[in-house]
Amino acid sequence: MASYNEISVSALARLIGTPDCPALLDVRIDEDFADDPRLVPGAFRHPFKEVLEIAKDLTGRSVVVYCQKGLKISQGAAALLRTAEVRAEVLEGGQFAWRAAKLSMVSADKLPPQDASGRTLWVTRHRPKIDRIACPWLIRRFMDPKAQILFVAGSQVTNVADRFGATPFDIEDVFWNHRGESCTFDTMIEEFGIAHEALTRLAVIVRGADTNRHDLAPEAAGLLAASLGLSRMFRDDLKQLEAGMLLYDAFYRWARDAANEGHDWPAVSKRV
């Protein structure tokens, strides 16, 4: 059982991928990171001796700190953050415990470089519908909560990527794109190494809606309808993305917690 100022692996796992997930801070030393260069989904690295440098950005937020084993380094770093009025907890057992639980981890070498503010920058075509909303949701919920998404004219995506150091996605002839019958959402799940039951279930729905194969999942038609509705409601792509984040939060929670639940009305009475 986690002690005071600790959070258990199971409790944190329930928060990953949701809007309530705390900021996740990986303070492993370089040697420990080199031994296993994978991150808890959504985590970012920072030297443990320099955590007060980022305390201002974390003020008022819940933070979970982890090192390799959840002992002296993460305990000390979390304590330092608490002196700066940051609500910091330690992941019980550290990265070793997360790995032992066989939970999803992000391959750090697949993450794009960060900008001066510590954010990844992505660019795609404007007027998004399905994949171009689903992918930013996946990026922000499982890779980089601070990721910036640029929507530009389709003809200028690669030019913007080159000039601004952004990572292009969901356009032809780039790494993060459709592969065979899979869509870009599938590609990201596979390449980042974060597949698990709920994301796999959601990916089928996204693929069905994005490639017009509603036979893959009955929910695909509903996702398409909601996505097209959002695209008509918002002229501003970023406002549409913010609304879409809630849509995918709901689909993810359904896929994780309610996929086997039904509903009927009027309720059928049972005779004893």
Residue indicated by tokens 């959070």? 7
**Does the residue 27 lie in any domain?**
yes
Both 121 and 241 in one domain: the answer is yes
Is the confidence at residue 270, as pLDDT, over 70? no
Q: Is 160 contained in some domain?
A: yes
With 0-12 CB in 10 A as exposed, 13-18 as middle and 19+ as buried, what is 119?
middle
If asked whether residues 190 and 116 sit together in one domain, one would say yes
Assign 3-class secondary structure to the chain: CCCCCEECHHHHHHHCCCCCCCEEEECCCHHHHHHCCEECCCEEECCHHHHHHHHHHHCCCEEEEECCCCCHHHHHHHHHHHHCCCEEEEECCHHHHHHHCCCCCEEHHHCCCECCCCCEEEEEECCCCCHHHHHHHHHHHHHCCCCEEEEECHHHHHHHHHHHCCEEECCCCCCECCECCECHHHHHHHHHCCCCHHHHHHHHHHHHHHCCCCCCCCHHHHHHHHHHHHHHHCCCHHHHHHHHHHHHHHHHHHHHHHCCCCCCCCCCCCCC
Mean pLDDT over 131-146 rounds to: 97
Q: Are both 57 and 124 inside the same structural domain?
A: no
State whether 35 and 161 are in the same domain.
no
CA-based Rg of the chain, rounded to a whole angstrom?
A: 20
234/16 Cα distance (integer angstroms): 28
pLDDT over 80 (residue 1) = no
Say whether both 141 and 78 belong to one domain: no
Out of 87, 107, 127, pick the residue that ends a domain.
107
- State which of 73, 107, 141 marks the end of a domain: 107
Q: Is residue 219 part of a domain?
A: yes
* Average pLDDT score over residue span 31-42: 97
pLDDT of residue 2: 64
- Give the confidence band of 155 by pLDDT, cuts at 50, 70, 90: very high
pLDDT surpasses 90 at 149: yes
- Do 136 and 56 share a structural domain? no
Could you tell me if 24 and 150 lie in one domain? no
Residue 18 in domain: yes
Residue 174, domain extent = 111-258
Nearest to 169 by CA among 136, 203, 200: 136
Average pLDDT, the chain: 95
Provide the pLDDT for residue 60. Answer: 87
Q: At 56, which amino acid appears?
A: K
Max CA separation in the chain (angstroms): 72
State whether 244 and 138 are in the same domain: yes
% residues pLDDT > 90 (the chain): 92
Using a pLDDT cut of 70, give the percent of the chain over it. Answer: 97
**Residue 268 confidence (pLDDT):** 63
- Note whether residue 271 is domain-resident: no
Assessment of whether the complete model's pTM goes beyond 0.85? yes
Query: Is the model's pLDDT at 136 over the cut of 90?
Result: yes
Same domain, 144 and 251: yes
In tens, the pLDDT along 226-247 reads: 999 999 999 999 999 999 999 9
pLDDT for the residue numbered 153: 98
Q: Are residues 86 and 124 in the same domain?
A: no
Q: Which of 61, 113, 78 is nearest to 4 (CA)?
A: 78
Residue 206, pLDDT > 90, answer yes
Residue 263 lies in a domain: no
Which residue in 3, 12, 201 sits closest to 105, CA to CA? Answer: 12
What is the average per-residue pLDDT within 159-182?
A: 97
Q: What distance in Å separates the CA atoms of residue 217 and residue 62, rounded to the nearest whole number?
A: 36
In this predicted model, which residue has the larger pLDDT, 253 or 4? 253
Question: Residue 75 maps to which CATH number?
Answer: 3.40.250.10
The reported pLDDT for the residue numbered 272 is 47
Average of per-residue pLDDT across 156-166: 97
Give the pLDDT mean for 94-117. Answer: 94
Quick one: pLDDT at residue 225? Answer: 98
pLDDT given for residue 118 in this prediction = 86
For the beta carbon of residue 6, count every other beta carbon within 10 angstroms.
18
Domain boundary among 107, 134, 155: 107
Number of domains making up the chain: 2
- What pLDDT is recorded for position 269? 56
Least confident of 2-6, 91-95, 189-193: 2-6
Q: Residues 160, 204: one domain?
A: yes
